[in-house]
Structure formats: C-alpha cells, structure tokens
Amino acid sequence: MNKHNFFYFIKEGAFNMFSHGFMSFAAVGITVACLLIMGTFTLVAVNANAMLADMESQNQILAFVEKGMSEQDARALGREILKVDNVVKATFISNEEAARTFRDKYEDDELFQGLPDENFRHRYAIDLEDIGYMRQTKEALEELEKDALILDVLGQHVAEHYIKGKMREWDEYQTRVSSWELEKYLVIY
C-alpha cells in the first residue's frame, strides 16, 4: 500500500465519520455497551466459580449425638470417628458450647437468649478429606455397625446411637445438590 492510498483512506474515514456522525456515535456506543455487559457477566461467572470452589474446599459436616447420651459417652465416640476413612479431624462440641455459640450469633434477638443448654445436643464437627467420598464413609459406618469388637468396646447403646446419627447424616447428605449437578444442570435449565 503506497502513501497515497493510505492518506486517501484516512481522509475518506474522517469525512464519512463527520457526514454520518450519529451513526458512528451509535456504533461506538453499542460496542462499548456490549463490552460492558459481557465484562459484567464474565466477572459474575468468575466470582461464582470461585465461591463454588471455596465451598467445595469446606468439607466439614456436623454429626449430632443422640440426645440422651452423656457427655463422657459422646466424647468416647471421637476415637471411633477418627478411625473411619476420609475423616481428617473430629472436634467435639458440647451442648453448652453449642448453646453459647448460638446465643452469641443471635445476641440481638431476645427470643433466643433464654433457651436452656439442654435444648442443644452434643455434636462433632467432622472434617472430611474429600466430600466426594461421602458414600464410602457411609459404607464404612455400616461396617462399623457389624463389627463385634467395636460394639463391645463402645457398648451396644453408644454404638447404636452413633451409627443411627451418622445414618441420619447420610440421609441429609443425599438431599443436597452437589457442585457437579450445579455445573451440569444449571446451564441446561
């Protein structure tokens, strides 16, 4: 392309821009609006993916101990919980500690301040290595139910309540929507 042709295109472009000023302005405005909208949607998608990844990394479940079980028996379950594959850490939370945490969370609401500690149950905050292995964790708990040595060590009553609580937790887990289901079906529907 020689100099003459290049200046010709510049001159024609400037002339057409001024002669069709509103159309040029509209084209630039639409382009900017599209870029802003696409950028906003991209930021929302990136943030949603980051939040989902953060939630997936929080592999903690709460296992509630049967209401009638003493604190000593409930604490004894901790060693057995740690023996289950996929369990990284099991932190015991007494009913008094759970009540205190609840009251602190809702300190401005007088309705919750008068609740007695007995309304709260002992529980374990159980950190799992991978939430994807929840099915295997359930199967390990079912095997625990059949293990005569565990039943003898814990006692029939404690073992029965522990296993019943974990089975309830499994049922609750089954009703949750996984991140895979969100990724797969949220786009479709």
* Residues paired with 92 in a beta bridge: 124
CATH number at residue 143: 3.30.70.3040
CA distance 150 to 56: 32
Q: Domain of 29?
A: 3-56
Q: How many domains does the chain have?
A: 2
CA distance 46 to 159: 45
SS3 171: helix
- Is 114 within a domain? yes
Let me know whether 16 and 88 are in one domain. no
Let me know whether 127 and 140 are in one domain. yes
Query: Could you report the average pLDDT of every consecutive run of 10 residues in the chain (189 residues)?
Result: 73 77 79 94 89 72 78 82 81 86 80 74 81 71 68 69 75 70 62
Let me know whether 48 and 128 are in one domain. no
- Is 80 within a domain? yes
